[in-house]
Amino acid sequence: MYLGIDCGTQGTKVVVIDLDRARILGEASRPHHLVEGDKGRREQHPADWVAAFRSAFADAVDDAGITPDAIRAIGVSGQQHGLVALDARGEPVHPAKLWCDTETAAHNDALVERLGGEAGCLDKLGLVLQTGYTASKLAWLRDVHPEAYRRIDSLLLPHDYLNFYLTGERVAEAGDASGTGYFDTRRRCWREDVLTVIAPELDPDRVLPRLVEAHEPAGTVRPALARELGLTDDVRVASGGGDNMLGAIGTGNIAPGLVTVSLGTSGTVCAYSAEPVVADSAMVANFCASSGGWLPLICTMNVTSATNRLRELFGLDLTSFNDRMASAPVGAEGITVLPFFNGERVPALPHASASFLGLTSANTTQANLCRAVAESATFGMRYGLELLGDLAADASEIRLIGGGARSPVWRQMVADITATPVVCPTITDAAALGAALQAAWCDLSPATTLEDICSRLVALDETSRAAPHPEHVATYHEVYGRFRQTLADRHGIPV
């Protein structure tokens, strides 16, 4: 048995897989509390992640009908970019600033300039720093909380922190490290000179975790913790990775020709590449994959986070929200939404706010507003596909994951807006599954390949398949044009 953990923004999910029988035996999840404040502050307490994991672990094992000593290895997926700065005792010096935190936008702009602009970032890092990456959070902590900054002994990401909790080892792997802003994504190594620009008082040799390969273990579960959890004393913890990288593994996106789209709290579009990618747009992140190779990716900040705002405002459960979307016509009778409740990363508008346009006494209905928000979030995905260029242009289908993927209405919307067939994996919680598959790879490599392991559990749910409707494709082409024109008029984003 192998355990997969996905520590996301909204909660932690734990799954138990039986590789021999090729199925998930048990699963459980626990929510997280998000601390929000002025100027785009979004933080969480790492202790909450640990508490959520422990509770979900117990329930997942119970759901699987096994005892914990049947588990051979553990894999951890985590929300990317979060800054977990620890002191010499291994305690956080400040709550973790998350990927969706936009309070550090000015610090990011300053760092880009100090590194030589976009060209300098590409030369040093293989990508351009974006608000939300870890680098600007560290610069912010140095500037705003110098007393906490002075206590820093190590710099970790959320999944690194859970690995540290499990093993006592401070390690990182290339996929998640790609989003720090002080990692060379082409050469797969830390850029100590860039860290010195960001945090000149910190010693890179001391604060940066040791790098391991994707198939290598971070360590074994600490003996005391193993006893508490009922594990054996030799349970390996895999390298783990960011949720996007592990989600790609969980959808089988480990070779060229596939596109994975996630309709989660945020939205992501990614496609595997065997070589580093230098994209035409700075918004395309040349991240490393957690399976070897690279995973060029774009990330928007407002998907189910946007639809949930409206759903909660109207007091609708998920079924009612989907019913409202289904009852509204394509294009929501002329309503255009810029769903930037959290600011936005793609396009780069960290200080933007949400806007509802085209409202009239005739079209302002719950149904139209619900549909318009989902459509606008999906337009962000189309925008991302266009930015990926050739990597996505020849894709024969989109593999759709995340909470939004459970909605038949939304799946059809994605197919119509992108003019591409859509299908969901049988298991849509792909990051947790990917973490478990990577754990099996770590345990069984080199005798068994990741491709073989994925072939056992990554299957497609043919009942979820949605083909583009030609009439809707044509209508959405016009509605998407209206959305892009609104971006140009209000924010200066070229059409």
Coil, strand or helix at 450 = helix
Distance separating the N- and C-terminal Cα atoms of the chain: 50
Residue of higher predicted confidence among 348 and 52: 52
Residues 211 and 75 in one domain: yes
Residues 229 and 106 in one domain: yes
**pLDDT, tens only, 32-83:** 999 999 889 999 999 999 999 999 999 999 999 999 999 999 999 999 999 9
Residues 86 and 231 in one domain: yes
Structural domain contains residue 170: yes
CA 126 from centroid of its chain's CA atoms: 19
Instruction: Compute the distance between CA of residue 376 and CA of residue 410 in angstroms, rounded to an integer.
Output: 12
Residues 238 and 254 in one domain: no
Residues 52 and 88 in one domain: yes
Residues 248 and 390 in one domain: yes
Structural domain contains residue 450: no
Look at residue 427 in the predicted model and tell me its pLDDT: 84
Q: Which of 243, 266, 285 is the last residue of a domain?
A: 243
Structural domain contains residue 436: no
Residues 236 and 337 in one domain: no
Look at residue 257 in the predicted model and tell me its pLDDT: 81
Look at residue 463 in the predicted model and tell me its pLDDT: 97
pLDDT above 70 covers a percentage of the chain that reads 100
Residue ranges in 345-449 assigned as alpha helix (H): 366-388, 390-393, 408-418, 430-444
Structural domain contains residue 443: no
Structural domain contains residue 452: no
Residues 275 and 172 in one domain: no
Structural domain contains residue 449: no
Its domain, for residue 301, covers 244-425+459-495
Residues 259 and 299 in one domain: yes
pLDDT(391) > 90: no
Strand partners, 286: 296
Structural domain contains residue 431: no
Residue 372 · residue 389 · CB < 8 Å: no
CA dihedral for 394, 269, 84, 437, sign (positive or negative): negative
State yes or no: is 243 an active-site residue: yes
Residue 175 · residue 238 · CB < 8 Å: no
Q: Please, which pLDDT band fits residue 392 given cuts at 50, 70 and 90?
A: confident
Residues 83 and 179 in one domain: yes
Q: Please give the DSSP secondary-structure letter assigned to residue 290.
A: B
Residues 248 and 225 in one domain: no
**pLDDT, tens only, 297-309:** 999 999 999 999 9
**pLDDT, tens only, 118-160:** 999 999 999 999 998 999 999 999 999 999 999 999 999 999 9
Instruction: Specify the amino acid at residue 474.
Output: A
Q: Please, which pLDDT band fits residue 263 given cuts at 50, 70 and 90?
A: very high
Q: Which of 228, 243, 258 is the last residue of a domain?
A: 243
Residues 232 and 106 in one domain: yes
Look at residue 252 in the predicted model and tell me its pLDDT: 92
Closest C-alpha among 334, 434, 336, 383 to residue 8: 434
Supply the CATH number for residue 204's domain.
3.30.420.40
Structural domain contains residue 151: yes
pLDDT (mean) for 185-202: 97
Q: Which of 227, 243, 259 is the last residue of a domain?
A: 243
Q: Which of 6, 48, 243, 429 is catalytic?
A: 243
Query: Structurally, how many domains does the chain consist of?
Result: 2
